[in-house]
Amino acid sequence: MRVVLSGGGTGGHIYPAVAVARQCEAEDPDSEFLYIGGTRGLESKLVPQENLPFEAIDITGFRRKLSMDNVKTVMRFLKGVQTSKKLLKKFKPDVVIGTGGYVCGPVVYAAAKLGIPSIIHEQNAIPGLTNQFLSRYVSTVAVSFEGSEGAFPKAKRVIYTGNPRATTVQTANRERGFATLGIPMNSSVVLIVGGSRGAKAINDAMIEMAPRLEKLKHIHFVYVTGETYFDQTREDIRSRLGSLPNHLHVLPYIHNMPEVLAATSLIVNRAGASFLAEITSLGIPSVLIPSPNVTNNHQVANARQLEKAGAAKVILEKELTGKRLYESIEDIMMNYNLQQEMSASSRSLGKPNSAKVIVEEMRRLSQGR
């Protein structure tokens, strides 16, 4: 199968596309790929590292307020459609899939206009503008959250697939996760992550919470600050405690996150869709602190889905304090039955075969041409 992938801006749009490619390869080693991304997005760096052929187009997103920048965006979109058509005609894909971000707009639209079967994958509980626009043109809309199919009333076909990142973590080696952290096997681990770049509000809460961790010495706390905040956060914690206790581990970044997740008992994190797919696939209980700095406040909607199912506790950033965070963690980690219940609820939301379901749909569409 010949597949064009598109998705960009953030890892949350890129890694699901990569997961689909890897599933295609696993099922058909002769699969061929072309990834079309933006010149300005993270995909221009990440995709070549995944050894996927990459082509770039220049595209920006629409501003929600009236702006002259939107006129430039329209012009870039039209030019992007022309460029995408040339790339598609040259590559001759069987199917095109977009996994989010404004770069998908011209790529998937061009595919639809050329009569090439196409799929968009919506990761969030609330769809983005690009996917709302594309939903009326594509062959299939795939959604991550069961029950969100109704968000695309003009689509020809909508299916619940889950997020393909859920498939990626299924093969993660738990033992390597403990080894990465330098923690004995089967230890209780609370992982606190503010996203790939870190989050100041979560950092501040962790600094404030650190003195309270003396009460939970049997639990290993792993705090991932983000490169930017690492030195200052570690120094602030040290100034409060004198030195870092053995059960508190402060790290700038984790490169093998799936393996560390496999070793995690409880996670504190934002509520990005790809990360939620990973933790529900593994059945990890969570304390979610949705980012308030995202379109349509969609992380709150994502987090509430897990909270409603009993898989997570949600703390809004405006309500976040070190005391509140500590109490939420303590409530879960000191109550084994609650941990097990949250874990089971989390796993019930997981869709570990997500990538396989999407590839099956891609194959169905390509065979129907």
User: Helix 336-349 crosses helix 322-333 at what angle (to 10 degrees)?
Assistant: 90
Question: Any known ligand binding at 12?
Answer: yes
Question: Any known ligand binding at 124?
Answer: yes
Question: Any known ligand binding at 39?
Answer: no
Q: Are residues 108 and 234 in the same domain?
A: no
Q: Are residues 356 and 335 in the same domain?
A: no
Tell me the residue type at 238.
Answer: R
Q: Are residues 117 and 214 in the same domain?
A: no
Predicted model pTM: 0.85
Q: Are residues 124 and 186 in the same domain?
A: no
Q: Are residues 237 and 335 in the same domain?
A: yes
Q: Are residues 294 and 245 in the same domain?
A: yes
Q: How far, CA to CA in Å, does 338 sit from each of 264, 309, 330, 357?
A: 16, 13, 11, 32
Question: Any known ligand binding at 299?
Answer: yes
What SS3 class is residue 84? helix
What is the count of structural domains for the chain? 2
C-alpha triplet 202, 276, 22: angle, nearest 5°: 125
pLDDT tens-place values along the chain, 369 residues long = 999 999 988 888 999 999 999 999 999 999 999 999 998 888 998 999 999 999 999 876 555 555 556 557 677 889 999 999 999 999 999 999 999 988 999 999 999 999 999 999 999 988 888 899 999 999 999 999 988 999 999 999 999 999 999 998 988 999 999 999 999 999 999 999 987 677 899 999 999 999 999 999 999 999 999 988 999 999 999 999 999 999 999 999 998 999 999 999 999 999 999 899 999 999 999 999 999 988 778 899 999 999 999 999 999 999 999 999 999 999 999 999 999 999 999 999 999 999 999 999 999 999 976
Domain that holds residue 323: 170-349
CATH number where 206 lies: 3.40.50.2000
Question: Any known ligand binding at 83?
Answer: no
Q: Are residues 184 and 331 in the same domain?
A: yes
